[in-house]
């Protein structure tokens, strides 16, 4: 099975629910000046055109960006995935995508032929990769059972699996499997969408390290070689997030985070039928 040679930075910009052009332009301008390159979006976020226009109007060099996008559930299948990718490329005003993911797997709870659906969607991504429309391909919210099924027919190994990942939601079953298979992990919601900020254990850990809980979460991602894609609309947070990924942590802090019981986050589950655009 072919393995993709590609490099991801340790931190990127999440853009879910950022749908105002003025805010997007301001964030992108500041982010690029700080040193960010990875921009994560998805067809279901409905902001591809805003990102494309902002990049063009700001005069940001395409070579400075790593544009990552995702095919939504309504475009499952070989032809659907290819058509969706070409549509996203056009909206983003670019000639190619750096990274393209299947946003959610088809599951046995939804489809009797879920394995075939995932296989055909992945085959579409493989074609896009081989044609040069995208530089790397991967999946999002895939569990080991979905990946095992995909490997039955795949000719290219997924480069990355983007999952909900933060203290209290480390998904070791998924991360251990991906590590074994050589699949990188991207952390969507690395800050737990703010829902973990009141956890007493994390408060104590952050206090002991003399950093904020947000910095603690991102530093942990960095130490686990997990690419974090936090979302923020505040320019001051862009810089603190960017610096936090390289903060060292005590071994005792790392162990406490690993042992933290489930405390939630987005609460998304890839085994459920989810209209992600309405969440």
Which neighbouring-strand residues pair with 68? Answer: 40, 99
Residues annotated as catalytic are: 45
Give the residue, 159 or 234, on which the prediction is more confident: 159
- The mean pLDDT value for 271-278 works out to 32
CA 129, chain centre distance (Å) = 18
Confidence band for 194, pLDDT divided at 50, 70 and 90: low
Confidence band for 193, pLDDT divided at 50, 70 and 90: low
Q: Please tell me the distance from the alpha carbon of residue 135 to that of residue 132, in angstroms, as a whole number.
A: 6
Per this entry, what is the length of the chain?
279
- Averaging pLDDT over each range in 99-103, 260-264, 273-277, which range is the top one? 99-103
Question: pLDDT tens digits for 2-52?
Answer: 999 999 999 999 999 999 999 999 999 999 999 999 999 999 999 999 999
Give the residue, 273 or 255, on which the prediction is more confident: 255
Indicate whether 82 pLDDT > 70.
yes
DSSP state letter for 160: E
Say if residues 162 and 138 touch (Cβ distance below 8 Å): yes
Which three-class secondary structure state does DSSP give residue 268?
coil
Q: Average pLDDT of the chain?
A: 92
Name the pTM for this structure: 0.92
Indicate whether 79 pLDDT > 60.
yes
Contacts with 161 (C-beta within 8 Å, 6 or more apart), sequence order: 138, 139, 140, 142, 147, 174, 178, 183, 184, 185, 186
Question: pLDDT tens digits for 226-249?
Answer: 999 999 999 889 999 999 999 999
Q: What integer pLDDT is reported at residue 262 of this predicted model?
A: 84
Q: What integer pLDDT is reported at residue 264 of this predicted model?
A: 64
Q: Please tell me the distance from the alpha carbon of residue 227 to that of residue 149, in angstroms, as a whole number.
A: 25
Lowest mean pLDDT among 79-93, 94-108, 237-251, 259-273: 259-273
CA-to-CA separations, 102 to 22, 27, 96, 153, 216, in angstroms, rounded: 29, 26, 16, 16, 29
Q: What integer pLDDT is reported at residue 192 of this predicted model?
A: 87
Nearest CA to 188 out of 216, 157, 217 is that of 217
Say if residues 158 and 138 touch (Cβ distance below 8 Å): yes
Q: What integer pLDDT is reported at residue 271 of this predicted model?
A: 35
Q: What integer pLDDT is reported at residue 57 of this predicted model?
A: 95
């Amino acid at each position: 099975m072919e393995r993709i040679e590609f490099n991801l930075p340790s931190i990127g910009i999440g853009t879910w629910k950022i749908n105002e052009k003025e805010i997007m332009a301001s964030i992108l301008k500041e982010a690029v000046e700080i040193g960010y390159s990875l921009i994560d979006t998805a067809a279901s976020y409905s902001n591809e055109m805003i990102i494309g226009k902002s990049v063009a109007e700001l005069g940001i060099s395409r070579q400075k960006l790593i544009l990552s996008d995702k095919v939504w559930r309504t475009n499952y299948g070989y032809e659907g995935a290819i058509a969706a990718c070409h549509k996203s490329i056009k909206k983003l005003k670019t000639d190619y995508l750096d990274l393209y993911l299947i946003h959610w797997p088809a599951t046995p709870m939804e489809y009797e032929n879920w394995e075939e659906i995932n296989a055909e969607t992945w085959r579409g991504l493989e074609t896009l990769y081989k044609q040069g429309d995208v530089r790397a391909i991967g999946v999002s919210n895939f569990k080991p059972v979905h990946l095992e099924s995909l490997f039955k027919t795949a000719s290219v190994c997924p480069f990355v699996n983007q999952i909900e990942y933060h203290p209290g939601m480390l998904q070791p079953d998924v991360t251990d499997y991906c590590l074994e298979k050589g699949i990188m992990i991207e952390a969507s919601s690395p800050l737990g969408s703010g829902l973990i900020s009141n956890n007493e254990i994390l408060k104590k850990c952050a206090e002991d390290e003399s950093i904020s809980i947000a910095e603690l979460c991102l530093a942990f991602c960095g130490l686990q070689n997990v690419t974090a894609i936090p979302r923020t609309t505040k320019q001051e947070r862009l810089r603190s997030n960017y610096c936090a990924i390289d903060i060292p942590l005590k071994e005792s802090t790392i162990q406490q985070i690993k042992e933290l019981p489930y405390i939630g986050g987005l609460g998304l589950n890839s085994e459920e039928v989810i209209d992600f655009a309405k969440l």
